[in-house]
Amino acid sequence: MRVQLWLAIAACALMAGAGAIHADDKADIKAIDDFKSEPFKQYEREDKMRSLAKSGSAEAANKLIELLADDYVHIRDAASDILIEMKGDPVHPSLARALSHKNAEIRWRAAEVLGFRLAADAVKELAEKLRTDKDLLVREACARSLGAIGNEEARKALQEGLKQGGASSGACARALGQLGQADAAERMEKLLSAKEWQAAVGALDGLALLGPDAHVKAVARCAASKDWRVRIATAQCLARLTQAPAVAEARAAMTELLKDDDWRVRRRTVEALVDLWQAASVELLIAALGGEKEFIVHDIVNALELLSSERKGYSAEGWKMWWEGSKKELAAKPKRPLQGWLKAPLAGQLAQSGSGDSTVFFNVPVLKQNAMFVFDLSGSMRDPVSRSDTRIKFDLAREELAKTLSALPKGAMFNVGAYRYSSQYPPQTEWMRAFGDGVRDATPAHIKAANDWIAKVEVKGWGAFYEALTLPLDDARVHVIYFMSDGAPSRGTYVKRENLLAALRRALRFSPVTINTVTIANKGRDIEFMEDIAKEGGGACSKPLN
């Protein structure tokens, strides 16, 4: 009888505790909620999020999932990273349930986390949302995650998504290409004529991964697409050709892409010919060099030098004479840089081009390009430059900008901007520009207006780098960004450095601007990060105080 009584008591205790929140979880959740509206407590809030994840409980997972739509966007990214690493049996079921959340941001982020976790037990839920969710970002995230999981059930769901068509079918095609699903190639080819650019680009990416030689005619026709992103993806797909007959078939399309009205397409096509690394690459680039009138001549010369290991300058005739007189042998192909082959020319190389380096911005060459000068407005930019230089850091920026603008080359266009992330709750952001309609001609009136504008800009708030670097891409006329900061990001979509760099690489695929950075940071790690950003954008990093 006593044993039965104790068993009954124990059962009641278990039932009572089944829905209870552990004391440590409760304390962490309370702190996370208490700090929600305190801008200067967000670092502590992240610490509590990491502490909460250690419990591995359903309550902890659900709270972190809730934070995927937090008012602070960097907290959303932090919550994703924490959920990816979180241990505990309740995590996958909690994330799977989150796929049906009313908030689309939570749905697509939960889907992405499941992919990073290789959550094979969530394939059914991911497949269902790929098929039925109304939000494109959610469907694309489900496709990416199914591709990462890659088991038979996931592949079947991706095949169904490919058949379903629509914008998200492109993400399915890309995922199937990454999985080497050769039997999906014919359907991918049919998708090339889709009206949604996302579908066509995904199909091109999928065929590129599977090998496009057998589909070269259909791929080449995409060079006539009305969407610049499809034309860029076409060049990048054709760069994966390996067979001589297919390369010959693609020459006409590549020639047209090198003449494209959109500079973004021409620039990526030059890079694609380096990826192709065949004799046809050299011949097509030499032919294009004589007709290119904009800054992309620097990219063409750089590409020819990579392919040949020769230095023949900017004369198309000089390159043609060398090629016809040589054995038409290419140099050994080096490993492709993670950020690609494109890079800005050095000052010494500019003299050979005949255009010269007309001016500089903190010792970084400024070419005849449409430039966007972007500044970090975080509060530390109000600090003195150094112990010996009592000027405010932002005044240093204003002075250098004025000198640069006064010497811009004839025909150049420019704009000046800053992204403000306020230090208040709820967080407020503002993308500010001297000229709201985009770059303007470098006339005396426009230069004066820009200098007057930046003189009135208040320096306050937090540093948000990702937005400052990607919002200029909305103006398709911007060729180059000059970004100045004295530190590292503390707010914005991405604060974690590797996440920011990866996202920036994705953003630059269809907007291949050059990014130059200027850092007046004191910390070595902050300087290295600005160097990495410049490297990602094929530009240079200036360190005027070092």
pLDDT tens-place string over residues 190-245: 999 999 999 999 999 999 999 999 999 999 999 999 999 999 999 999 999 999 99
**What is the spatial distance between Cα 219 and Cα 200, in angstroms, rounded to a whole number?**
10
Specify the domain boundaries for CATH 3.40.50.410 within the chain.
347-542
pLDDT at position 479 is 97
Q: Provide the CB-side half-sphere exposure for 526 (13 A, CA).
A: 17
pLDDT at position 385 is 86
pLDDT at position 490 is 92
CATH of 347-542, one of 3.90.1150.10, 3.30.870.10, 3.40.50.410, 3.40.50.720: 3.40.50.410
Name the token pair of 405.
């603008």
- Amino acid identity at 69: A
pLDDT at position 73 is 96
pLDDT at position 13 is 38
pTM tops 0.85: yes
**What is the spatial distance between Cα 278 and Cα 244, in angstroms, rounded to a whole number?**
9
**What is the spatial distance between Cα 278 and Cα 330, in angstroms, rounded to a whole number?**
7
Residue 4's CB is within 10 A of a number of other CB atoms, namely 8
pLDDT at position 349 is 60
Distance of CA 358 to the CA centre of its chain: 30
Q: Which helix (H) or strand (E) holds 366?
A: strand 364-366
pLDDT at position 523 is 85
pLDDT at position 133 is 98
Per-block average pLDDT, block size 10, for the chain (546 residues)?
A: 44 42 87 96 97 97 98 98 98 98 99 99 99 98 99 99 97 99 98 98 99 98 99 99 98 98 98 98 97 93 96 93 88 95 76 64 92 92 86 93 94 94 91 97 97 94 94 98 94 96 98 97 92 97 92
Residue 291's CB is within 10 A of a number of other CB atoms, namely 10
Backbone conformation region of residue 440, classed left if phi is above 0, alpha if psi is from -120 to 50, else beta: beta
**What is the spatial distance between Cα 115 and Cα 357, in angstroms, rounded to a whole number?**
47
pLDDT at position 84 is 99
